[in-house]
Amino acid sequence: MRDPTGFLATEYRSLVDSATDWKLRVLSGPSAPWCTVDGKKVLMFCSNNYLGLSNHPRLKEAALEAIRTHGVGSGSVRPIAGNMDLHVELERRLAAFKRAEASLVYQSGFATNAGLIPQLVGEGDLIVSDELNHGSIIDGTRLSRADRTVYRHTDVADLERVLSAAEERTPAPRRILVITDGVFSMDGDIAPLDRIADAAGRHGAMVYVDDAHGEGVLGPGGRGIVAHFGLSRDQVHVEMGTFSKAFGVVGGHVSGSRALIDFAYNKSRTWLLSGSHPPPVAAACLAAVDLLETEGKHVERLWELTHRFKKEMRALGFDLGASETPITPVMVGDSHRAKALSDRLFDLGLFALPIVYPMVAKEKARLRTIMNAALTDDDVTFAVSAFAKAGRELRLI
């Protein structure tokens, strides 16, 4: 009798042969600048922990205190019996930080996009998406019944073309939703959100930005891409983000008008049907928001180290793509060579993972490095030296 699951091993083997499989390494202990991965002490150079907050004393103490006062779980989904005062306070403080009328916290960033996008648009509507948007946006789009189209990456002229063509349809779309990443996670470039918002406004379209990699990085005090461009809530209608990157914890969220938030928590099934954040998680997220409000030094340090690393890597001859942010891809091209570079760096004590197809195009494999404000100047010197040695050995520079 034929094994109906035989394709699983066959397809996995094809991933291994093409060097597009994931080998999971194990982190023992906290996500810190120097940490233990697969039993080896290495410099962490690929986490999303931009500001080094995931092991910050204030966040850890907040989590411990919440366990003492609220326990380790909420016991329910928020609409029924899992809506704790910590969740409500977190949303109030987050909205104040984002300069929005209201905010809503989801269980993850992926759940935010997958749960909200299909509710904002449906049959008879149109989603217009940047061609390099995150997979969670793509999946959220597919879950909707809306028509969908893409525009060339960060190309506002092409966006205008798509929007003009949509207006000429018969019948015209009932609603149009323009969606873009704020900072593109694989290339580190920034969406021209000011010009995107202008174009969308001329065509009466809603604007949705996924700012997962912009929070804590862009804008005054790390408030994100909407603040970075000085845009209003009338120009950007949905600002989505996560707590799992610069905030150092976990969870997703949206900020915008009171009407948006009331709509979202009544309509998003990923929010309605998932257990709410455990008290220590909510408390740690709240501490992270407070810390960003009061300690701007973390964001300043992040950019200081980012500029230095990019300058020294380019001087060595590495191709860093179109990066404008602490996400700095080291372009390699071939997936086998990207994995070889990662393995050699690990031998030298630097942990930087390769990004290969299907996360990026087959000919655009790279190592995605991410700067961390908790690194020292000596740490950056060590990282650049390791790249120099491995790059020369592999004839990449």
Domain closes at, from 228, 259, 294: 294
Task: Identify which of 80, 133, 119 has the alpha carbon closest to the alpha carbon of residue 272.
Answer: 80
Q: How far is CA 223 from CA 55, 83, 128, 239, 289, in A?
A: 21, 26, 25, 11, 10
What pLDDT was estimated at residue 23? Answer: 84
pLDDT band at 304 (very low <50, low <70, confident <90, very high): very high
Residue type at 67?
Answer: I
Residues 332, 287, single domain; the answer is no
Q: Which residue has the tokens 């976990």?
A: 250
What pLDDT was estimated at residue 170? Answer: 84
First to last CA, the chain: 54
Residue 50 scores a pLDDT above 80: yes
Residues 199, 83, single domain; the answer is yes
Measured in residues, the chain has a length of 397
Residues 255, 302, single domain; the answer is no
Which residues are CB-contacts of 388 (< 8 A; sequence separation ≥ 6)? 316, 397
DSSP code for 142: H
What pTM value is reported for the model? 0.94
Strand stretches in 111-166, DSSP E: 126-130, 147-151
Distance from chain centroid for Cα 248? 12
Residues 35, 141, single domain; the answer is no
DSSP code for 182: S
DSSP code for 275: B
Residues 248, 373, single domain; the answer is no
Residue 1 scores a pLDDT above 80: no
pLDDT band at 123 (very low <50, low <70, confident <90, very high): very high
Could you give the residue numbers annotated as active site?
185, 213, 245
Q: Which residue has the tokens 């990066």?
A: 323
- What's the domain range around 22? 15-44+296-393
pLDDT band at 110 (very low <50, low <70, confident <90, very high): very high
Given a contact cutoff of 8 angstroms between Cβ atoms, the answer to whether 397 and 315 are in contact is no
Q: d(Cα 263, Cα 254) in Å, to the nearest integer?
A: 12
Residues 306, 290, single domain; the answer is no
Residues 83, 159, single domain; the answer is yes
Domain closes at, from 294, 323, 346: 294
DSSP code for 190: B
pLDDT band at 244 (very low <50, low <70, confident <90, very high): very high
Task: Assess if residue 52 is contained within a domain.
Answer: no
Q: d(Cα 138, Cα 40) in Å, to the nearest integer?
A: 37
Domain closes at, from 266, 294, 322: 294
Q: d(Cα 175, Cα 10) in Å, to the nearest integer?
A: 44
Q: Which residue has the tokens 């938030």?
A: 261
Residue 190 scores a pLDDT above 80: yes
